[in-house]
Amino acid sequence: MEFKNKIKISPSILSADYAALREDIEKVKIAGADMLHVDVMDGHFVPNISIGPPVVKSIRKSTDMVLDCHLMISDPYDYIDAFAKSGADLIAFHVESNSNIGETIEKIKSTGVLPALVVKPKTPAEAVFPYLKDIVMVLVMTVEPGFGGQSFMEDMLPKIKAIREEASKTNPSLMIQVDGGIVPETAKLCIDAGADVLVSGSYIFGAENITEAVNSLR
Ligand code: DX5
Ligand code: ZN
- The pLDDT assigned to 2 comes to 87
Q: Provide the 8-state DSSP code for 42.
A: B
- The pLDDT assigned to 13 comes to 98
**pTM for this entry:** 0.98
Binding site membership of 14 for ligand 1 (Cβ less than 6 Å): yes
Distance CA 50, CA 83 (A): 14
Give Cα 119 distance to the centre of its chain. Answer: 11
Exactly one of 24, 39, 68, 196 is catalytic; name it.
39
Give Cα 136 distance to the centre of its chain. Answer: 12
- Residue 64 neighbours by CB under 8 Å, 6+ apart: none
Q: Which amino acid is at 14?
A: L
- The pLDDT assigned to 133 comes to 98
Ligand 1 atom showing the smallest separation from residue 144 Cα: 6
- Residue 153 neighbours by CB under 8 Å, 6+ apart: 121, 142, 143, 180, 181
Task: Among the bound ligands, name the one nearest to the CA of residue 14.
Answer: 1
Beta bridge partners of 176: 138
Distance CA 178, CA 199 (A): 6
- The pLDDT assigned to 1 comes to 83
Ligand 1 atom showing the smallest separation from residue 70 Cα: 7
Distance CA 15, CA 18 (A): 8
* Digitized pLDDT (tens) for each residue of the chain, 218 residues in all: 889 999 999 999 999 999 999 999 999 999 999 999 999 999 999 999 999 999 999 999 999 999 999 999 999 999 999 999 999 999 999 999 999 999 999 999 999 999 999 999 999 999 999 999 999 999 999 999 999 999 999 999 999 999 999 999 999 999 999 999 999 999 999 999 999 999 999 999 999 999 999 999 99
How many angstroms does the Cα of residue 206 sit away from the middle of ligand 1? 13
- The pLDDT assigned to 198 comes to 99
How many angstroms does the Cα of residue 16 sit away from the middle of ligand 2? 13
- End-to-end CA distance of the chain: give it in Å, rounded: 20
Active site residue 134: no
Binding site membership of 199 for ligand 1 (Cβ less than 6 Å): yes
Active site residue 196: no
Binding site membership of 39 for ligand 1 (Cβ less than 6 Å): yes
